[in-house]
Chain A
Amino acid sequence: MYREALNEALREEMLRDQTVFLLGGGIGQRGGSYKVTVDLLNEFGPKRVIDAPISEASFTGTCVGAAITGMRPVVEILFVDFTSLVIDQIVNQAAKYRFMSGGKVKVPLVLRTQGGSGNGLAAQHSQSLEAWYYHVPGLKLVMPSTPCDAKGLLKSAIREDDPVIFIEHKLLYMEKGPVPEAEYTIELGRGDIKRPGQDVTIIAWSGMVSRTLAAAESLTRDGIQAEVIDPRTLVPLDTELILESVKKTEHLVIVQEAVRRGGVASDIASIVQAEAFDYLDAPIEILAGRNTPIPFNVNLERASVPQEPDIVAAVKKTVYAK
């Protein structure tokens, strides 16, 4: 399971490196709201699995300070929505420290959080805010969609010398999938072809990947073979893999749960049109969340973000475009 894979990554890295510690609200005895840190307090003790009061700005800043002075903190912010409380420490401090110091000071910090809709948690607990952090130079941005990716990427994130924003998805924690027995890491900046195909490229990340794979499966009934690419890390972005695929399929659909306006999808589209314009047979299609706060009502919530039939329709529109 996704959450178990994350737990394994934390545990292995804590065993491997004494400077790794965890800090967040309810991560100790309670094991975290999504059970990612379960049992780690018992194994590593309260000095390395630290329960913090609801002081997000300061406990995140505390981790920035610890990182600057030689530790490797993994701080958990319960919902990506709450990172709004922490923006100064992420954007003005963590992201800029290395640069401002002329490269002398490193900030090996991982901020784990989770986002996305689908649980009826309404407008302040369901957002997809990756574009905020995508926008800020100095941060790396990871959004794994499978248990295997989650583990390998979290291990790499912890070993990284720059701050990493690691956004999980609340619908994925119980998701099952194969995870290698032997130790492994996944390099940041390497996308993954989740399904090969030659007719159209679909880019999706985080919670949108499984939905996109289901859509790709149903598209085969119409004879359309979609290639599904999961960039896995948005910063750095594997543009090479994306361009290679687009040059092959000549059609691109980008699926994003976050709202359409100012999103990462728009930026990927701009990169592709600049680098592979001559290969495109149709306009790039962006399928994104509506420009709305996430509603509570389940039907309205579903209507706010891309669903499987929406993806199917977007692909057909692109492939059949003249």
Chain B
Amino acid sequence: MMYSREFLEQLYRTIYTIRIFETQCIKLYRQGLIIGYFHPYLGEEAIATGVCAALRKDDYIVSTHRGHGHCIARGGQLKKMVAEVLGRETGYCRGRGGSMHIADPETGNIGANGIVGGGIPIGVGAGLGISIRGSNQVVALFFSDGASNNGVFAESLNLAAIWDLPVIFVLENNQYAVSSPIEEMSRIPDLHRRAEGYGVEASMIDGNDVLAVFEETQKAVRTCCDGNGPVLIEAKTYRHGGHHVNDPGLYMPKDKLEYYKTHDPVTIAREHLMSRSDCTEQDIAEIENGANQAMSEAIEFARNSPQPSVDSFLEEVKQN
């Protein structure tokens, strides 16, 4: 497929921004500015980027506890994101939600979720609403190999199937449920094969290759808009570290981790951009500088933002 330079640049800008968001936030975490749970999307950036590039502005996404990448790829604002993970009043959730609960109705981001699998029926529900309204949108429903072993996955895939809903089940198979390897948690680690039992079209792709993700999602969008949804895409990937920022991930075999760190989504996206357009190293450095600059400004904004007012919080909860 032919791509414009502009499009490839946009993909690279997004994928690089996610990478820089996560690495910078981990630094803020180490400085004690971020507390609680923080689940980096490092190593999986191509999935959110490729999927969201194939969506329209009025489509929906459902995110997960590892959700920063989805939010950024959907066009979320870095300032509000950093402010939220710092717990500030100017954050997406006014400091009430934190890393695991960012939602952004303006970009159709129905929200991240602290319950593994909890978002799956919610995404199907967005699809049901579309079907009732007859509005020709689609839902990209991100979930993980871990969530695929929760009962709601089986139920929800079936509901989406019997009601022919325009839902793209994006199974981010990073091969670990927290610390449990998928080969031990499922007899069939290629999880897309489950879809056949529900009469749902499914495929498996390299989740680290942003163009592979984009192309497969584009097909899935067409299938859904033709009324032949749902579709399931299994995107194989691997985390660059443990389950969350304080998990060293010592259970991840070194050779496999090394392989995936080399087979890196950011590197692959850069290669696509270099080989498929006349973009130079210099141009790439400019894209990266722009993203770094935006992230610095976001951190500055967040650090200077006020804490939520305890008084107004207590006033609000009186109404409960």
Partner of B152, one of A21, A61, A138: A61
A47 partner residues in chain B, CB cutoff 8 A: 131-132
Chain B 33-61, CB-CB to A under 8 Å as 1, else 0, gives 00000000000000000000000000010
B15 interface contact, C-beta 8 A = no
A67 interface contact, C-beta 8 A = yes
Interface-facing stretch out of B94-102, B224-232, B279-287, B288-296: B94-102
* Contact yes or no, B118 A89, CB < 8 A: yes
* Contact yes or no, A53 B151, CB < 8 A: no
* Contact yes or no, B103 A105, CB < 8 A: yes
Q: How many Å from the CB of B148 to the closest CB on chain A?
A: 14
How many positions in chain B have a CB within 8 Å of any CB in the partner chain? 43
Q: Which residue of A lies closest to B316 (CB)?
A: A103
Interface-facing stretch out of A76-84, A93-101, A172-180, A244-252: A93-101
A103 partner residues in chain B, CB cutoff 8 A: 94
A119 interface contact, C-beta 8 A = no
Counted as pairs of residues, one from A and one from B, with CB atoms less than 8 Å apart, the total is 133
A102 to B105 alpha-carbon distance, docked (Å): 12
Interface-facing stretch out of B153-161, B252-260, B298-306: B153-161
A53 to B126 alpha-carbon distance, docked (Å): 18
B152 partner residues in chain A, CB cutoff 8 A: 57-58, 61
Identify which of A58, A89, A92, A137 gathers the most chain B CB atoms within 10 Å of its CB.
A58
* Contact yes or no, A61 B92, CB < 8 A: no
A192 to B297 alpha-carbon distance, docked (Å): 56
Residue contacts A-B, CB under 8 angstroms, 9 given: A57-B155, A61-B152, A66-B132, A69-B130, A71-B132, A89-B121, A92-B115, A104-B92, A137-B317
Known contacts A62-B124, A99-B96, A102-B91; 10 further A-B pairs (Cβ under 8 A): A55-B155, A61-B121, A61-B152, A68-B110, A71-B133, A89-B121, A101-B92, A104-B92, A104-B93, A105-B110
Interface residue ranges, A against B (CB under 8 Å):
21, 47-48, 50, 52-53, 55, 57-71, 73, 88-89, 92-93, 97, 99-105, 137-138
The 4 closest A-B pairs by CB, nearest first: A65-B125, A61-B121, A58-B155, A65-B122
